Amino acid sequence: MVFVTRQAHFNAAHRLHNPEKSEEWNASTYGKCNYPNWHGHNYIIKVTVAGNPDPETGYVIDLGKLKQIMKDQILDPCDHRNLNLDVPFLKNIIPTSENLVKVFFDQLKDQVEAVASEGSVLYSVELFETERNIAEYCPFKHTIIK
């Protein structure tokens, strides 16, 4: 099994805020991430596809095609945008990194698997909010839940 990863980046504003909760709940839950006038990040996204290399091309996926899908599906809608206000597929999503990776995975899955080698799957989406804060969605890594 071979895993192929493409990394890209975008710069966006956001704010953590649950509109169904009080101001007090939001301030105490999210701290400075809840400040009203937004803050932002240089997000780095890594998208991994798992499969077997095509025998003719030697590719699990043409990284040029993966780059283009990531641009169309994630970077163009999100780059230099406000993740709470501007992105149609993030409507009603609290933009924590945990929630973003799940939505990004769903945005990418069909288009990625359509151009990858026979039998390959979108394996994971990893998002670096900063180099210290990272989230990953991967439906294939199972753990023993308590």
> Which of positions 23-52 make contact with its own copies (CB under 8 A)?
29-33, 35, 37-42, 46, 50-51
Residue 91 found at the interface with its own copies (CB under 8 A): no
Among 27, 71, 75, 86, binds its own copies (CB under 8 A): 86
How would you write 49-110 as a 3-class SS string? EEECCCCCCCCCCCHHHHHHHHHHHHHHHHCCCECCCCCHHHCCCCCCHHHHHHHHHHHHHH
Residue 130 found at the interface with its own copies (CB under 8 A): yes
Q: Reply yes or no on whether 80 is catalytic.
A: yes
Helix 63-70, helix 97-115: angle, nearest 10: 130
Q: Which of 9, 23, 39, 80 is catalytic?
A: 80
Among 23, 68, 80, 110, binds its own copies (CB under 8 A): 80
